[in-house]
Structure 1
């Protein structure tokens, strides 16, 4: 190996150690806050999708009601 490659590997490992040191010294509250923010965003998206699905179901149910009411009216008018 040439000296440049060895030197860059040493610098890289030093950077990793430095980052791990930073993480060890860092408070957990920003990490927990970030996780909570991610979780709440995910929950919001989930519930918005559920609301859309329920809205679509309600629309389809309303269309079904209208269809059967029309069929009932046709049957009633054919009877008379």
Structure 2
């Protein structure tokens, strides 16, 4: 990956984090969204509050779960 593409990707991730923070959501939901955005979310992030928010926002079909390949 060249430097410019990396910068663009990095800036996009930073902008996404900023937008998430501006939504005025609970800290646990923000943490879940940030972890999801960066590919680090796990099932441990899906507590009752986050699951309720996902259901309230009807996001069940917009979030995917996958296995992490062992390194």
- Shorter-normalised TM range: 0.3 to 0.5
Give the TM-score of the pair, scaled to structure 2.
0.33
So what's the TM-score if we normalise by structure 1? 0.30
Structure that is richer in helix per residue? 1
Q: Which is higher, the Rg of structure 1 or of structure 2?
A: 1
